[in-house]
Each structure stands twice: as structure tokens, then as C-alpha cells.
Amino acid sequence: MPPVLILHTGGTIGMAATPGGYRPLPGFAGHLRRQLAGRGEFTVVELPPIDSADLRPGHWSAIATALAERWHDHAGFVVLHGTDTMAWSASALSFMLRGCDKPVVFTGAQIPMGEPASDALANLAAALDIAAASPLREVAIAFGPRLLRGNRARKLSATRLDAFDSPNCPALAELGTPPAFHVEQLRPAGRPDFRIAACTDGAVGVLTFYPGISAASVDALLADPRLRGLVLQSYGTGNAPQADPALLGALERAAARGVVMLNTTQCAHGSVAQETYATGAALAGIGVVGGADITPEAAFAKLHWLLASDSDPARIAAALRQSLAGEQSVA
């Protein structure tokens, strides 16, 4: 049987304490091989380590390309990644690895490998077992007690070892020996038709509504000439302030120049339904796409990927209304 590929991209799992804080551990690949001796066949590939907080959209294509180049030689894939931006990267790869027919499992750790009470080996062992032999045929996150769809997952705790959950989508499996899969939740295997696009900084912005937000602050965000897409983080079921006409006017001008806007909710659980209240219907009226129950992380990655793959705002808006990789519910 072909080996599993472990792709190390960085993160706490591969760090060690130094007087200046946690830093990447030199020779981590060798350390990893020793720790996993006897756990089946695997190969380790290291990319230049990325601190999770330093992740940029351009890193997604590098990670996807590293997997695609080795796709036919491996049974499955484990991606070691920093936890802070893991949900963004897992979401992006779910779109780039279109037609995925093998397990791709992201994991990491809250505590570095080798430190007391570290969760690193437990998370890695679970991910390795799933990547080696399981019914999974999509991009997922194995962390703590659960296996989650990658583009549905969110990091909900800064410190707990069960840091991730997917509030709007059931877990794919409960992790144990062996893992208990919820097979009815799994996506079927596809036929690989990878669309690895080079996402660029500044193409997508995020606008979070808050009490008293000014039109001037929105105009400042929209003034970036690189901006082609905007993720709105609105109240409740997709509501935005409407007492200030200048605020809606700023968004309307952005729509007129081709900026594609996707509305998500600030709530961890629930869905956008823009027509429920007049404050949401006003957004729909200027062409803002309702994002249903997509997470902000998946919304950001999906819009980035679509903008890198297509130049037509109407086609991009139409694709935002569809579930391309299980990232949102569609009525």
C-alpha cells in the first residue's frame, strides 16, 4: 500500500521554547520520524515553516501544489499547520483540490510536541490513521475528539485541546481507536480536477459591522485598488445598519465597480437570510450575496479562490450561491 505523506507547513506542533518565545524546532522532520516509528509507512516533506499568524493567501497554492505533485504516490495526506489559521487553509484547499478522491487531513497542536501534556502526538496519530485507511475523501481537520469538514470548521478556543468545532455541520467522525465515522456526513469520492489558483494579498477584504460604524471607515477599506471582493460580517440573520444612508451608499458604489460582496453572520451558529428584515433586504437590493451558513473563514477562502479563477463578477456571485465543496447549506 502506498505511504501517507506528512506535509509540515509550520505551527506550534513543530516548535520549541526559546528565550524569545516559541520558534521552529531545527530538524523537526527527523524528530517526527522517530516519534512515529512503527506507525506504518509515511514520508515527510517540509515547506518553509509559516507561523500561523503570518499566513498569506499565496501560501495556499504552495500547500496545494505540494500535495498535487505527490498525489498519485500516496494513499492519503496529513498537513501539519498552525491552529490560528488552519480553518482558512483547510477551506482554501477544499476548493483547490476539486474532485478529491483521497483523505486530506489537517492537524496541529495547542502544545508543542515533546512538552508535558502535549496534544501533538494524539492529534497526529489520529490524522495519520485516517489518512492511511478510512472512508474520508475530502479535506478535513482532525483535532482533539473530532474529525470535522475542513471548510466548516472554526477555532473556537485559544487554549482548550478541543479547540475546533463546526457549529453548523455535524462532525464527520468521533476520534478514537478506531474512529467512529458518521458515513452519512461524508462527501463521495470525486475525480481529481484540481484548480490551484494563485490567490493574492488584498483581493478580498473583511468588513465587520459594529454599533456606530461610519461610512468613512467603509470608504477607507474600499479605497484599496486591489480589492475585488468583500466578506461582510453582519448581525444576526444578515442585518446591516441602515440609519446612515452614506454607509449603504459606500457599499453600493463598490458593487457598481464590480466588487463582489458576500454576507456572513457574526453568530457562531445559524444562517444568513437577508430578506428576513429590511436591514438585510437592503443589502440584497444592491447585489450582496447571502452566504447562508458558511463560516467567515470559508467565505474568505472561497471568494479569494473564485476571484483568482475568474474575472466575471456575475459568474463569481452565482458560484457563491452554490455549495462547491460542502461548505454551506443550500435550500
Catalytically annotated residue among 12, 107, 264, 295: 12
Catalytically annotated residue among 9, 43, 83, 295: 83
Q: Hey, which residues does 230 pair with through a beta bridge?
A: 205, 261
CA atoms within 13 A on the CB side of 62: 15
Distances (CA, A) of 21 to 111, 118, 160: 13, 17, 20
Strands 164-165 and 154-155: antiparallel
Strands 104-107 and 139-143: parallel
73 assigned ligand-binding residue: no
Active site residue 279: no
Backbone φ and ψ of 63, nearest 5° = -65, -45
Is-contact 194 92, C-beta < 8 A? Answer: no
Is-contact 317 289, C-beta < 8 A? Answer: yes
CA atoms within 13 A on the CB side of 232: 34
Q: Return d(Cα 209, Cα 289) in angstroms, integer.
A: 16
Cell 485507511, residue located:
133
52 assigned ligand-binding residue: yes
Q: Return d(Cα 324, Cα 47) in angstroms, integer.
A: 28
The residue length of the chain stands at 331
Q: Return d(Cα 23, Cα 135) in angstroms, integer.
A: 36
Burial level of 317, CB count in 10 A (0-12/13-18/19+)? middle
Active site residue 265: no
Cell numbers found for residue 122: 494524539
Q: Return d(Cα 213, Cα 225) in angstroms, integer.
A: 22
Which residues carry out catalysis?
Answer: 12, 83
Tell me the binding residues for substrate: 52, 83-84
Tell me the binding residues: 52, 83-84
